[in-house]
Amino acid sequence: MSIRICHLITDLDTGGAERSLVNLILGSNAAQFRHEVVCLIEPGPMATPLAEAGIVVTTLGMRRGRWSLSGLSRLIHHLRATRPAILQTWLYHADLAGTIASWFAGNPKLLWNVRCSDMTHAPGETSLRLPVRALSLLSRCPDAIVVNSRRGRRDHEALGYRPKAWAEIPNGVDLARFRERRSERASLRALLGLDPDAVVIGLVARFHPMKDVATFLRAAALFTQKHAHVQFLLCGTGFDRDNNALTGMIADLGLGGRVMLLGRQPCAEDIYPTLDVFSLCSIYGEGFPNVLCEAMACGIPCVATDIGDSAEIVGDCGLIVPMRDPAALAQAWQKLLDLGPQAVGARARVAAKFSRERMCADYEALYRSITINQGAVPA
């Protein structure tokens, strides 16, 4: 008999939590686990691969940033009608809505999923303080709280989270999708309009203050002083020519013609193999950055700021630098390039520690432990 799991999440936009949810569902044992997804607001592009796999995606019709009693009522009625064995909530607003709904819907087993480090003290994120405070008071309600990073657990313990159990499950990457493609490097670069012989340094993210794109561009300006044959690639939502703030920074730093803006791309697996070095410059909020694992699975060495579990992910397959330090970032790029193709172990590290198969096995063990076995939550 299969275990029915309802996943509740804000939406299915192209963020790390959403990507992990899709990876989990698509990699799960369909004979033993039946998944569905409920979104608080309209789903977004990550709903497409789920729909193609026959996974039911339902929306509650709420508006972003605004709760509605009608939406909460729809969630309660949905849970009563479908009677999942487990309600797994992803991100703060879904944690809160799911907890309240579960009280009126027969109390399915409840799992929260914490996907970040501390966001409550970050600039522009003050709206999270009230729901996170409420969740800290309610943190004994779920059967377990899943965290994808050790830093996320430590930060939430400091915020007052005191769950019955923690379950630490790192993100997993699809190794069949993200793979080394050295023989295709020239053709992939040609499709993007990149110089086949240039040094290419890239960042895949969304244009957001937490990603600290300004430091990346300042490091790029320093790097170009010594390297005439280098290009920089920015990929993700907001990295396009319509972003006046971004194009203004590029112009002010004298990087016109050096920076390629790709915008959001559905096939990131075609982007990473074109790079010589991948960068993550985030300054807050990250728990377990998927992009590092994706780049490493493609055999690309990484330079990342010391945020979340970045150091644990990168290991000796890249370098960790201080936040907001353009000079340190540029120096790290140079050091990796001087070392040459030293990312031989990057894919092996991801395969051993951060594969989708391992992530799915860990989640499935957790699901069994709180339903079939009624035993202790695996650590």
Structural domains in the chain, CATH included, are: 3-172+355-370 (3.40.50.2000), 182-353 (3.40.50.2000)
Residue 377 pLDDT class (50, 70, 90 cuts):
low
Q: How far apart are CA 379 and CA 368, in angstroms?
A: 14
The structure tokens listed for 68 are 């509605």
Task: Tell me: pLDDT of 303 over 90.
Answer: yes
Q: How far apart are CA 115 and CA 91, in angstroms?
A: 7
Q: What is the pLDDT of residue 1?
A: 75
Task: Tell me: pLDDT of 120 over 80.
Answer: no
CA distances from 96 to 40, 87, 137, 144 (A): 11, 12, 11, 14
Task: Tell me: pLDDT of 375 over 70.
Answer: no
The whole-number average pLDDT for the span 264-283 is 95
Task: Tell me: pLDDT of 343 over 90.
Answer: no
Task: Tell me: pLDDT of 228 over 80.
Answer: yes
In one-letter notation, the amino acid at residue 157 is E
SS3 (DSSP) at 10: coil
Q: What is the pLDDT of residue 129?
A: 86
The pTM of the whole model exceeds 0.85? yes
SS3 (DSSP) at 84: coil
Phi, psi of 30 (to 5 degrees): -65, -20
Q: What is the pLDDT of residue 3?
A: 96
**Pick from 7-21, 88-102, 109-123, 357-371: least confident:** 109-123
Average pLDDT, whole number, for the chain? 93
